[in-house]
Structure 1
Amino acid sequence: MQDLLTVFPVIFTIAVALLLRRTLVALGLGIICASVILNWGSPVATFSYIVDNAISQIYQPDNWQMWHINVLAAMLLLGILTAILSRSGAIGAFADWQFSRISSQRQARFAVILVGWIVFIDGIFSCLANGNISRPLSERFGIPPGELAYLVDSTASPLTSMVPFSSWGPYVIALIAGINWLNVDPAHAFIEVASYNFYAIATLLMVMVVATTNLGFKPSTPTVIQSPAHTPVGSPWMLGLPILTLLLGSLVLMLVSGARNADELTIAAMFSHADIGAAMRDSCVIAVIVATLMSLNAGQSLQQTLGAAALGIKTMLPAITIIMFTWIIGRAIGDLNAGKIMAGYAADLLSPVVLLPGMFVLCTFIAFSTGSSWGTFAIMIPIGADIAHAIQPEFVLAAISAVMAGSVFGDHCSPISDTTVLAATASGCEPNHHVMTQLPLALLTAFMALCCFTAIGLGISLIVVLAGLIVAMIAIAAITLQRRQ
């Protein structure tokens, strides 16, 4: 009975998330539920515990929680950067520059992928920016709206979930940092987790296959569009320079901070001793300054730019609230020892072979039902890590990867996911049509990811698994091209 009471907040939180499809409400009610159990129903003690728990995420006696502070700052700054780039005309300028350099449908499909790789900083921003940039191009070269939506959607969340410098990076790194017993630097853990994110990797490979072979979509006739007398030249730099600043700034600042702390000045030593959080925060500041200056130079007023910045902050506040609630419920569940108890039961019922594919399937169901990969991360990453630690400790990071992969897949295919809807609407496609045309390719990709996780559970090395995945994709492309001839 005591064990059931201890794990009840976890079960309750997942149930509310599935029923209401409101992650924030589920986390909030889960916090209250766990706090009430911890304090034996005392209202005063429960309220005091929640307040103390929340404050401790930012400040503990004589110790500011700089990792948490840097993560929150980086998320806000990325929201500001995204909004400024959207408002400044950077997207339109890039579209004009790109339009004059494409001459075939296949090139146009690869151009859509390239834009997705350039605007990787946020999943929602990627869907909106890429859809609006690539839509005129797709109309000119006869790419169906459903195919454009697939290319846009499949280079958004799958890529963003693997990049530490995206808006997802700090969020997931913060969740990993909340696993107190994990003796790995959170940023380095994120990089290893990304290397096992087989759904994201397979999706990015499948996008290349689709661009090359048009797999899953009927060939169509390009629309004849008469070129205007004066074709806008456009420029890639309004969009590219701030993002390039973000990337290079992060790398340079990490190396500089690592050089201060490392015993030897090697790349590996500097990265292992780097202050990742501060580097992300400061590079975001520099990128925002660059984007602001370029926005002002492009004719935007200071008031318009500040308005965009305010909108960016407002847009990011729900994610900030979710991550705060995640930290709070994480400590409450930890104080209850719920993760350890669930891990103990899982260790008795599960084998190492089914651990990773089981995590993948479970998180697929949760994310598909809720339409939220971030909400699934928040609930399942700490629990998945505890279960893996009890069953097969060396699979902890791979289990986190399975959680992320299943969450991204579920979110990718969910008709109530924000990225699904935005990718469709920005591409000129009905959301339901996008879901139905994307689903066969996504299911094929997910099956391949499931096979990869099963192979890891059987003890096959990561390099062999990734090589097998690449060979399978090449085979699919070759067979498709042969049938099209």
Structure 2
Amino acid sequence: MENWFSIVPFVIAVFVAMTTRQVLVGLGLGLLIGSYSLKPGIFNSLSKMSDYVFIAISDRDNLRIIIFLFVFGGLVGMMQVAGGIKGFAKTVQKRIKTERSALIVAWSTILVTFMDCEFRIMTTGPVMKAAKTSVAITRAKLAYAIDVSTVPVIVLMPVATTYTGYMVSVVGGSLNQLNINRSPYQLFLASIPFNFWALSIVTIGIFAVLTGRYIGKGIDSNNGHNVSEIEEEIHRESIESELEKVEPKAMNLILPLLLLLSSTFYLIWQDGLHKGANSFLDAMQQADATQAMLIALFATVIFSLCLFLLRKEKISELMFHFIDGGNQIIMAIILLVLVWALANMAEDLGFSSFITGTAGTFLSGAFVPVAVFLFGSLIAYFIGSSWGTWGLLMPLAISLAEATDASLPLAVAAVFAAGSFGDFTSPLGETTVTTASVFDLPVVDYAKAKSASSFVALGVSTILFVIAGLFF
């Protein structure tokens, strides 16, 4: 229990964020307190804090996510001023007659945006915000419909997502660390049917869309305002009035997105082949999907700029809205950097050692999966990062499963389910922050509104993990 203080910064970050409704303040304070515990003294702690921030930014994978988010925001800005989003929204509006049809359309876009959570949010969010004018629907409902079909759905996808490669690598690293001779990908596939939290929350989300009934308060009330009322209050008038004059041109959205999707799949496939893959499926697993998506995004931005110029758009307006579109996601980027910095600090504080020690080795094999799920959900809620939780917890889960003869697929599924829960539920979660930013919702209020359904799924999953542990 010597590392008990390692959990304090995360508790403080969540508590402050929940009480002040300022996630940035909570994250900053948690990071400062953790840094102070490692290097006492105000200047020493500030120096240590800045080191964690710089480490988070300089990490190659994190930097690619930052660049991707900003550039994609810029692409969305260009498509907006070029009439692409307005044109596509006008087309979509023909199919949106009711609130239910709007939510079904939001869900259906997963068919072309399943590769990455941020990609899905930033592609679908602006389109649905623009398309909602034909029906009275709260912004929170649209945000929830998209959010509940990001992480919960994408973690169940066995191929062609940025998550798949990371999830398989986490499993593989843990198996190698423990000298277990099993295929990481096959174990990942075997775990998918046991990811009870993801399956439960997806079911709850679909039920809400089809019936209009939501668990808890907040999603269907939006503090008494509908989307158009909120937009009138918070949207920047100068830019809004300018965009209202834009001529709708749906192809200015469709063509760039088609290029982005096709080139992403092609580059993922080619990268996998260069790494020795023998089939398309194998190529999808071996490729560096994040890098492929970033290159495809750069190519799409260049293509889009040329397309828009050929269609008589002004380069000055395109550049202004490219920068403006990227700036719209700056707050989300800052929050993500602080979340990553907290995760880096966790290792120096002995967070994983503390969790390993508290988990103990006294558990019966039948109860290892549910114990891992509950411990992992607690960790994930504090961290707000599915990837961070998976990296911290997977070695523990697999070692406990091996030591107690528990089901490995169940243990692996428990880790993935726990990380997904935290990413979706925590006010520090990456998808929570990004979705709230895109839909202009207060992060903490939005997190509270969707937490009721998430905790119901948590309860259902706990029961299912107990039952599965007893019979598998």
Regarding TM over 0.5, the answer is: yes
How far does the alpha carbon of each residue in 1:436-455 deviate from its partner, in whole angstroms, 9 at most, with x for none? 8x888666655544544445
2:127 pairs, out of 115, 126, 129, with 129
The equivalences for 1:288-299 within 5 A come to 288-296=301-309
- Whether the aligned pair in 1 keeps the contact of 2:197 and 2:461 (CA below 8 Å) is yes
The equivalences for 1:371-382 within 5 A come to 375=384, 377=386, 380=389
Residue type at the aligned position of 1:123:
I
> Offset of 1:291 from its aligned partner?
3.8
Residue type at the aligned position of 1:241:
L
State, as a whole percentage, how many aligned pairs show the same letter: 16
1:157 maps to which residue?
Answer: 147
The equivalences for 1:36-435 within 5 A come to 36-39=36-39, 41=40, 66-100=60-94, 110-115=104-109, 121-123=119-121, 126-136=124-134, 138=135, 145=137, 150=141, 152-161=142-151, 162-163=153-154, 182=174, 198-209=196-207, 212=210, 236-262=250-276, 264-296=277-309, 300-347=313-360, 351-359=367-375, 362=378, 366=381, 375=384, 377=386, 380=389, 383-385=392-394, 388=397, 391-392=400-401, 394=408, 395-396=411-412, 398-409=414-425, 419=435
How far does the alpha carbon of each residue in 1:278-309 deviate from its partner, in whole angstroms, 9 at most, with x for none? 21210121232344345445554222221222
| Cα distance, 1:257–1:409 mapped onto 2, change above 3 Å | same
> Offset of 1:358 from its aligned partner?
1.8
Is it true that 1:18 corresponds to 2:15 in the alignment?
Answer: yes
How far does the alpha carbon of each residue in 1:91-116 deviate from its partner, in whole angstroms, 9 at most, with x for none? 22112223445688876653343356
> Offset of 1:133 from its aligned partner?
0.6
Aligned residue pairs: how many? 412
Q: Partners in 2 of 1:109 and 1:417 — Cα distance?
A: 20
| Cα distance, 1:347–1:294 mapped onto 2, change above 3 Å | farther
Where does the alignment leave 5 or more consecutive residues of structure 2 unmatched? 177-182, 221-246, 403-407
Q: Partners in 2 of 1:311 and 1:234 — Cα distance?
A: 20
Q: Partners in 2 of 1:432 and 1:69 — Cα distance?
A: 29
Q: Partners in 2 of 1:434 and 1:379 — Cα distance?
A: 19
Residue type at the aligned position of 1:251:
F
Q: Partners in 1 of 2:353 and 2:12 — Cα distance?
A: 20
- Whether the aligned pair in 1 keeps the contact of 2:175 and 2:398 (CA below 8 Å) is no
Taking structure 1 as the reference length, what is the TM-score of the superposition?
Answer: 0.65
SS at match of 1:265: coil
Taking structure 2 as the reference length, what is the TM-score of the superposition?
Answer: 0.66
- Whether the aligned pair in 2 keeps the contact of 1:203 and 1:445 (CA below 8 Å) is yes
> Offset of 1:80 from its aligned partner?
2.0
> Offset of 1:130 from its aligned partner?
1.2
How far does the alpha carbon of each residue in 1:51-85 deviate from its partner, in whole angstroms, 9 at most, with x for none? 655555566xxxxx543443332232222233333
Q: Partners in 2 of 1:58 and 1:349 — Cα distance?
A: 40
Is it true that 1:8 corresponds to 2:8 in the alignment?
Answer: no
Residue type at the aligned position of 2:131:
I
| Cα distance, 1:131–1:9 mapped onto 2, change above 3 Å | same
Q: Partners in 1 of 2:319 and 2:46 — Cα distance?
A: 37
Where does the alignment leave 5 or more consecutive residues of structure 1 unmatched? 60-64, 140-144, 219-232, 368-373, 426-430, 461-485
SS at match of 1:156: helix
Q: Partners in 2 of 1:109 and 1:33 — Cα distance?
A: 42
| Cα distance, 1:243–1:356 mapped onto 2, change above 3 Å | farther
Q: Partners in 1 of 2:454 and 2:190 — Cα distance?
A: 23
- Whether the aligned pair in 1 keeps the contact of 2:154 and 2:163 (CA below 8 Å) is no
Q: Partners in 2 of 1:270 and 1:320 — Cα distance?
A: 30
Residue type at the aligned position of 1:240:
I
> Offset of 1:250 from its aligned partner?
1.8
- Whether the aligned pair in 1 keeps the contact of 2:368 and 2:401 (CA below 8 Å) is yes
> Offset of 1:377 from its aligned partner?
4.6
How far does the alpha carbon of each residue in 1:23-54 deviate from its partner, in whole angstroms, 9 at most, with x for none? 44444444444444445x36776566556555
Q: Partners in 2 of 1:267 and 1:275 — Cα distance?
A: 14
| Cα distance, 1:124–1:266 mapped onto 2, change above 3 Å | closer
Residue type at the aligned position of 1:132:
A
| Cα distance, 1:58–1:51 mapped onto 2, change above 3 Å | same
SS at match of 1:309: helix
Q: Partners in 2 of 1:68 and 1:180 — Cα distance?
A: 21
| Cα distance, 1:199–1:300 mapped onto 2, change above 3 Å | farther
Q: Partners in 2 of 1:273 and 1:353 — Cα distance?
A: 28
1:466 maps to which residue?
Answer: none
SS at match of 2:360: helix
Q: Partners in 2 of 1:88 and 1:360 — Cα distance?
A: 45
| Cα distance, 1:155–1:239 mapped onto 2, change above 3 Å | farther
Over the aligned positions, Cα root-mean-square deviation in angstroms equals 5.1
How far does the alpha carbon of each residue in 1:414-444 deviate from its partner, in whole angstroms, 9 at most, with x for none? xx9784697698xxxxx999988x8886666
- Whether the aligned pair in 1 keeps the contact of 2:53 and 2:341 (CA below 8 Å) is yes
Q: Partners in 1 of 2:184 and 2:78 — Cα distance?
A: 29
